[in-house]
Amino acid sequence: MNKITITRPDDWHLHLRDGDVLPDLVSHTARQFTRALVMPNLRPPVTQVAQALSYRSRIQEAAITAGYPDFQALMTLYLTDMTLPSEIEKAKEAGIMGVKLYPAGATTNSDAGVTDLNKCDSTIAKMAELDMPLLVHGEVTHSVIDIFDREAAFIEQVLEPLRKKHPKLRVVFEHITTKQAADYVSQANTKDYGEIAATITAHHLLYNRNAIFMGGIRPHYYCLPVLKREEHRQALLAAATSDSTRFFLGTDSAPHAQHLKEHACGCAGCFTAAQAIELYAQAFASVGKLQQLEKFASLNGPHFYGLPVNQSMITIEKIPQKIPLSYPMGQDLIVPLNAGESLEWSILG
């Protein structure tokens, strides 16, 4: 298979940042995707509906500036210990698509995150009642738990008890990185408990943790949750290309200025937005499953979020392209994942 035409995809997990970088960042995503679910981990975080709505209008303005007036930003709220149930009511009315749980300290800009989920109990109960999905960064943060085990520990210690406590709550397990998470999501009981789905990034489908240490330390392959062993990459690839409707595309493209990645304490996040769908095509083609890409990239996500699928189509063809060494991002540069390497697939048109 050298060419595939699919329904235009959406990105269900994206970091767009804010301010003068928005037009540069939005244009990469809008070239391929009709909609993106935008993460709320700004500084300060997007904890209130009013902030989310003004952030959305800045993104939409940037999309117009970038020449993509039809791009749609879908918004999320950042859950804190202080989020009130009344904010969830407002969020539902305002069309906010989900509320993001960052365990405090788990990742970039998560210091305002949740310190103890019990403090959020009435807010989460309201989410279950109003069918507002909880989007989880699924890692525990205790210093005694090894960084490679944090996702698996989260399933047992947090996710399973949470779903039992709130049996109507719908959950998206974001950017899963382990076999344990893929198995948990595909086998989860959704008859007695709320629906569960997972996003998977292109980089976790393409790379194992060796990529971070290949010939020296490679900061552009460092993200959270961190890349895992090969057996986990294979399990993710099997899940993404399976017939399950519970897995969908979320790039977790997370741009940081070059000088903050190439640093003594480099930021976590891989920038993949510029070639996202081509990277996914490469991963799916590597196991001969390109025909499963449309479900994963364009159908399963809208189905979970109760939105129509996109009307237009895109064509991806086996034409090699070279990934640029960097892109402008406002006053800075960003280095994409795979910078300077070649990619086998390109979008036509």
List residues near ligand NCD by CB under 6 A.
15, 41, 107-108, 137, 223-224, 252, 254, 268-269
Q: How far is the CB of 304 from Zn ion (least distance, A)?
A: 17
Quick one: which segment of 64-72, 146-154, 248-256, 285-293 binds Zn ion (CB under 5 A)?
248-256
Host H or E run for residue 215 = none
Q: Give whole-number Cα distances, 265 to 35, 81, 224, in Å.
A: 33, 28, 14
- The span from the CA of 138 to the CA of 161, in Å, is 13
* AA letter at 293: L
Closer by beta carbon to Zn ion, 268 or else 287: 268
Per partner kind, with CB cut-offs from 5 to 8 A, the member of ligand NCD, Zn ion, none near residue 83 is none
Q: Which does 17 bind (CB under 5 to 8 A by kind): ligand NCD, Zn ion, none?
A: none
Sign of the Cα pseudo-torsion (237, 241, 246, 247, in order): positive
Let me know how long the chain is.
349
Strand partners, 196: 171
What stretch of H or E contains 162? helix 160-165
Residue 137 contact, options Zn ion, ligand NCD, none, Cβ 5-8 Å cut-off depending on partner type: ligand NCD
x/- contact string, 199-238, with Zn ion (CB under 5 A)? ----------------------------------------
Q: Which does 124 bind (CB under 5 to 8 A by kind): ligand NCD, Zn ion, none?
A: none
Site string for Zn ion, 102-141 (x = CB under 5 A): ----------------------------------------
Amino acid identity, residue 125? A
Token pair for 17: 């940042």
Nearer to ligand NCD, 64 or 153 (CB): 153
Q: Name the residue type at position 134.
A: L
223 binds, among ligand NCD, Zn ion, none (CB under 5 to 8 A by kind): ligand NCD
Residue 108 binds what, of Zn ion, ligand NCD, none (CB under 5 to 8 Å, by partner type)?
ligand NCD
**For residues 41 and 244, which CB has a smaller minimum distance to ligand NCD in the complex?**
41
Instruction: Between 159 and 314, name the residue whose CB sits nearer to Zn ion.
Output: 159
Per the DSSP assignment, residues forming a β-bridge with 103 are 114
Q: Please, what is the minimum distance in Å from the beta carbon of residue 243 to ligand NCD?
A: 27
The Cα–Cα gap between 339 and 255 comes to: 13
Residue 87 as a binder of Zn ion (CB under 5 A): the answer is no
Report d(CA 61, CA 221) in Å as an integer: 31
d(CA 201, CA 13): 9
Q: Which residue is nearest to Zn ion (CB)?
A: 252
Residue number with CB closer to Zn ion (252 or 294): 252
Establish whether 252 is a catalytic residue.
Answer: yes
Handedness of CA 89, 90, 94, 95 (dihedral sign): negative
CA distance 11 to 246: 15
CA angle 139, 274, 203 (to 5 degrees): 35
Q: Is 252 in the site for Zn ion (CB under 5 A)?
A: yes
Would you please indicate which residues are annotated as catalytic (active-site) residues?
A: 252
Residue ranges that bind Zn ion, judged by CB under 5 A: 252
